[in-house]
Structures are given as C-alpha cells and as structure tokens.
Chains A and B, each alone.
Chain A
C-alpha cells in the first residue's frame, strides 16, 4: 500500500447551457488500493466537509458491467488501463505527484447535465429504432429448436458484451457511434433468430445513429477505448449489411 498525493483538474459545469471550467482540487493521502471512483468519493466527502458542492459523476455497479460510469481521464476515455471501465480502474495505475485531468464525455449527442455527468439517451433512441428481435412474450419455440454453431454464438456474445457507456463516442475524433451501433447490429444480425429483421434493423439503426452522431473514418480509437474491447470488425459487418439493406429493402418494397 502506498500513499499518493495528487492534483486533480476536474471539469465543473452547472448545466447543459452554462459555461464550465476546470477546478483544481488537491487530493493528498490517496491509498493506492482504492479504485478511481473511491478516490472521487473521498474527494467529494472532503468537499462536503468544506461545505462545497460535491462533484457530480455517473456511476453505479462499480463492477464494470452497468456502463453508467464515464470520464475522460488524462485525455483517454475510461483512463489509461486497456479494457477497463473507470470504475474498475485502480489508483495503483497512478504515481505520487501526478496531475490528473478529468473531463466529461464530449459530443453534441451527449449534452452535459452537470459537471462530469452527460446524457446518453441518444443510444437508447438507436436501440428503440431497431435494436431488438421482435419476439413478444409467450409463444417462443423451444430454445433448442435452432442449433447455433458455437463460433457464431460466441461472436454474437462478443458483440453483445457492449455496456453502452459511450466511451467509443467519447474517444472518437468524430464523435461517431458506429462501434456502439455495430455491436448491437452484429449481436442480433449474426444470430439465426435475428435474420427476419436483419436488413430493416441495420437500416433503421444506422439512420437513427446518423441523426445524432458523427461519421466513422476508421481511426480505430473506439476499439482501444472500449472497456469490453469490442472489435471494429463489427463496424465492417454493419457497413456491409447496410448496403445490402438499402438495396434489399427497396426491392422488397417495390414488390408491394
């Protein structure tokens, strides 16, 4: 166990339309066994003791699975550890005397609510537009009726591991959400159950995505920032399906 004395530069902003700025807060005596968010808890506890407002940041499960936590730490989404969400980042990754800069995710589609908290509802809009398999409760056939090759099920699972945290958008120089969208598209489009809506799904989801986010220029930055290490291979899959969808949907329509 080591003690770290840190200087934090934390973005403070009152609301979506106000101007924010960095607040420099000294954080002495940080135990390196702490998680990053526990360090922020302690900072907040000290701020409250001083009668100041606590820093607002999103977090919940602290097990790296709910996708609520965010934070741009020293210019990297979810901080320096690869494949790790902020809540699983531990202070042993930092050294005594470090200055840590903490910013919210920045994208037009993710307006800042307060301080480090942003609104990621645009992701929900994308899923609402088609990120599902229509299978109303009741009437589902036996689960073993369609055998799914293990590699296919595994690939779908790789894509389905997305936690919807928004790091891909935050890290992308263009604020594109192609990794998020393609992960959901690939999860469902790879599975036999998802074939019926395959083309309608990808078209609706991509079109909704483009209402909010920038475009993919294949930097690959999203893949590096993703706490679940989801591959940009899924973006290629989405691109292919989208072209097919634009073509096939039209053909289906023309027969009506």
Chain B
C-alpha cells in the first residue's frame, strides 16, 4: 500500500491556494451529472452535503438518526477557534497553525493544519451569514474567550451551546437543499458496508433501521463523515449511538486506518457515580477560564471542600505549569488529574475526581457574570449530581472524548480507496496526537464547507460521462447478502448476554489498558483478552426481537462487533508506538518529571494500518511527517 499524501508544492502559506488553482474543475452545468453519497449529517457531513448540493451535484445524504439535526457535533459546548484576531492580541493564521501543530505534539501533517487555520476565518464569516447567534459584546461585535493550549483569545462561542448552533446552521443549509430537491436525505438508515468496484468506491449498503431492509446506493464518490470511535471505551462523552461501523467497514474494504491509538481524554467530565452509568457528561473546557483546579494535599483529607484551608489545597496545574496554569492542554491536564487521583487524593464519594472551584471567580466577578458565562453548564451539572457549583466546587475527572485517529486521508481527504473520502472526526488528518479545545468544530466545518467541495472535483472531473455502477452489480449483491446474513446471524446466536454487556466488558479492558496511561504488559494483556471476548460474543450473544422492525438491540450488536475488531488495532498501534505523544502516553516513555517523552527519531510518522482479513494481524504502513515550519521541540507549557 502506497501512502501518497499528495501535498501540493510551494511555501506553506501558498499550498492551498496553489492546489485550488491547479485542481481539475467540473463545469457548473455538468455537476448534475454526478452523484455523490455523503454518510453522516454532523458538521462535516452536513456541511459537505449542503455545499455540494449548492454547487449542483446530485447528493444523497444518509443518517442513522431520525433527523439531520441530531449528530453528536451538537453536544460541543465551548466554542470554535478562528484566527480572526478580533481581540488584537497577536493572533494570526500562522499562530493558529503553530499552536495546533505544537498542541498535536508534532504528529500532524503541517500542510493540512495550515489549511485548517486558513479556512478557520471563513467558517466564522459563513456561520454568521447563516444566522448562527455567536456571543457578542455590547458594541455588537463578536466576543471571544480563551481555550486550552493557546495564549490568545480566539474562541468564538454561542453560550455553552456552540456545537448546537453551528450544527443547526449546517442543518438549515442542508434543509434548504433538501427542500430544493438537490439533496435527498435518507434518515434512520445505517451504513453497513462500502462497495468497491474495480478499485474505486462505487457505493454503500445501508440498513433501514425502521424496516430492517438492506438496500444499496451507488454514486461517483462516497464521503464518510461518520465521527469518531470513543465509544470503543463504552463509557465516553460521546452520544450513545456513536460508533465506528462506517469507518471500520471502509477499512475492511481497503481504507487504511491511521493512528488509532490517538484518543483524547478530556480533563473535565463529571466523574462516574455508579456502575449503571451509560455515558459520561462533559463539562466544557471553557470552565477552566475561570475555575481553578485543585485537590487536597493529603490523601486522608475528609473535610468538605469549603473547610479545607488554602494551605492544605494543591492547585497542581498552577503549580506545575505556571504559564498556562489551569489552561494547560487537555492531555496534560488529564494526566495530571490521574496522577493526583492515583495518589489517593481524589475527592467525592468514590474519591474519583478533583475539584474545579469557582469561588475565587465568583468573589472577583460576581455571581451574575459567572451565571451568564456558564449558567447552563452549572444547571446541567446540578441536574446530574444534585450539587450546585455556585456553592460547592464541581467534581471533575478525565473521560474519553475524541479520537484523533481515523481513516487515513491524503491532502484531498481521500482515503486509500479512490473515490472514498473521509471528513471530520472520521479522518485522522489535522490534530496529530492531541486536539486542542475548540478545534473539532473548526475541522469538521473546514472539511465540510471548504476543503471537500474543492477537492472532490479533482476526482470527479475525469469521470465525466460515466455512470455510477448500477446497484444490481454483483459486488453490491454480495455485500447486501453479507450484511443481511450478518444481522440474521446475531439474531440466530441465541446466547445469554446482551450486546451492552459485552460492550461494557470491552470498554473496561480498553480503559484499563489502552486508556490514559498505557504499558507494554497492559496492552499485551488487552490483545489477548479482546479476541477471547470477541469469540465469546460470537457464541454467547443474545439479541431478542426481530430483524424486520426497529430493533435497537440488533443495531447495537452490529456496532459492538466492529468495536471488537477496532479495539485490537487500537491496542496494536499503542503497543507499536514506543513513545509518548499527546493523548498516547506510554508509562515506559516519560521524563523524570512525568511528562510525555516523544521519540522523533523513530516515530515522527503517521502509522496507517491495512486490513488483512485478520483483525489481530493488520499490516502497518508509515507516512513520514516533515516539519519544515514548526520545528520539533519538547512541548512545554510550564
């Protein structure tokens, strides 16, 4: 397998402009002769489908939700970065690029990141024109807040619901195209396979979640914008239905899967309260603007937080990282919390959290200001925990939140399967080993609005005059039959345990051995336990109900099945990457102070895994990363 990133020539600042000029174009009158399938209607997928529809392509959009407004992009709280420099504090495209490459611990492709920073400013313009109600100053201009890993204020926000507002903006644009008939939306339709004919993506096979019917759809190109795979850990901040199936099915059809071990653990989630918990709830990183993180100095502390005197508190982030303090990047803040909790200094009934304290901020700014900034987050916290953060410090603990890894894509966002694209969290492209806060929304929208609609024509133009492969082609028939058989198979096992029971067990293995801190022994243990559990899943799964009507247990079974295979590659990737970088922390590779220790000599590359038919033995390919602009250095936030 050849990994050709197709990075355009020229200086870093000219690459995207050069590319846009040199790529092949499709004449507006010819665009309706092309069919494009977009799977997923979150920020990336919805934006791509809407923009391609506007440009004149025939778009078929697919979502497994009931509506195009439900994707998990909606849950992003804090904001979206853009190098607008509206605050005049020295921000620039180059600085956003620099911060993102550095924040990603030098494991991202420079050219992609620069393009992302360039497009960031257009996103804000676009979203504002669509009516996204970003927060404003009294003068009527846009407001900004600060986020982790940056020393400038560049985060645009809409209360604590930025993701919701941006997704609704996308949804509105997509709805307009649906209303005009340029996009056909298939809702409650889950991708169950990708079809490749003559080495090109030919279409997809979907299962109707209402009727259980399996059908095929073909097109000239297929875009996957199907999100990340955090739910491999069972407990994560992702929505319940988030899954890897689309990306994994693409992987099985030849798309390389890059850097699966890069998972982001978000530092501020509400700690788990009991064993029945179905998911973790994130508290926005923006809270770290005004909240101070601390834990008691003594593991034997039993006093309630307000009675612990300053002298007995350890504001460990401010102590260890004085210049960034509570706004240290996510990977660093998470690991610091883990160190304290592992040392027995955790707080709360299960001693599994640290405090995020707003009392100083309330004293300084007044309760009203804090309420205006974070009111809805505080309410959410109180609904879940029954404690008011105005009176008692919040309790937080890291949780799996985002996956930087994903389908390998070149500069054009094309996977290793020609005609198959991946956008948004589903691809691996822009965040390296760690994503900075407020950058996920930026990447999803950049890919969907600005990158993909520009790059896809380069692939489509030469296909003028060809028709999509008909869905009665043998490959489609084979894929449909296989999918039908797969779902019938789950129903036929007749074992004793539900898909959730297996998922929970898989998640525990992943969190214990492939979570915030990884070791060789742990990963090897996971690699022996996961296949055994997967085998048990195949023999002992119980799915009740039928395959001909809505059956959420059956849907879950298919998703968990794919998580089992992915989990093995995640562990393999973590095991092979003998260094610590960003979200990937190998206990064997740390400095004396406990910071991540990269090995640039051996691992300054992207690892892309090729499916071989055996999930335990995929082939590892590498794409070397070259840093011509941001020089490799030890990441320091001290």
Contact = CB atoms under 8 A, between A and B. Distances in A.
> Are chains A and B touching in the complex at the 8 Å CB cutoff?
yes
Interface string B139-158: 11110000000000000001
Interface residues of A, number: 82
A188 B165 CA distance: 12
Contact of A143 (B128, B135, B210): B128
A63 B129 contact: no
Interface string A18-60: 0000000000000101110110011011011101111010111
Interface residues of B, number: 84
Contacts of A121: 66-67, 187
Contacts, number: 222
A164 to B, nearest CB: 6
A187 interface: yes
Interface in B104-134: 122, 124-131, 133-134
B274 A31 contact: yes
Given A66-B74, A90-B383, A137-B51, A153 B135 contact: yes
B318 interface: no
Interface string B284-320: 0000000000000000000000000000000000000
Interface in A45-87: 45, 47-49, 51-54, 56, 58-68, 81, 83-84
B402 to A, nearest CB: 15
A62 B553 contact: no
Interface string A145-168: 011111001101100110110000
A183 to B, nearest CB: 11
B239 A60 contact: yes
Contacts of B161: 65, 161
A141 B128 CA distance: 9
B471 interface: no
B140 A66 contact: no
Contacts of B277: 38
B278 A62 contact: yes
- Tell me what chain A mostly uses at the interface: helix, strand, loop, or mixed: loop
A81 B383 contact: yes
Contacts of B66: 58, 68, 119-121
Nearest to B556: A54
- Greatest chain A CB density within 10 A among B380, B498, B543 is at B498
B140 A149 contact: yes
Nearest to B542: A48
Interface in A101-150: 113-114, 117, 119-121, 123-124, 127-138, 140-144, 146-150
A92 interface: yes
Given A147-B141, A153-B136, A187 B131 contact: yes
A138 B178 CA distance: 19
A45 B552 CA distance: 12
Contacts of B59: none
Nearest to B386: A92
- Greatest chain B CB density within 10 A among A31, A34, A59, A124 is at A124
Contact of B125 (A42, A143, A153): A143
Contact of A60 (B72, B131, B158, B551): B72
Given A61-B239, A66-B74, A131-B172, A33 B164 contact: no
A72 to B, nearest CB: 17
A207 B173 CA distance: 20
B84 interface: yes
Contacts of A15: 549
Contacts of A214: none
Contact of A90 (B130, B135, B279, B384): B384
B171 interface: yes
Contacts of B140: 146-150, 153
A164 B69 contact: yes
A48 B74 contact: no
A53 B133 contact: no
Given A49-B498, A140-B126, A144-B141, A60 B274 contact: no
A127 B176 CA distance: 8
Contacts of B278: 35, 37-38, 41, 62
A104 B171 CA distance: 25
Nearest to B504: A45
Given A114-B550, A121-B66, A157-B159, A45 B239 contact: no
Given A56-B550, A63-B380, A124-B68, A48 B544 contact: yes
B126 A66 contact: no
Interface in B544-561: 544-545, 549-553
A154 B375 CA distance: 14
Contacts of A164: 67, 69
Contacts of B129: 133, 135, 140-141, 143, 193
A88 interface: yes
Given A148-B136, A160-B168, A161-B159, 4 more contacts: A33-B273, A38-B276, A90-B384, A135-B130
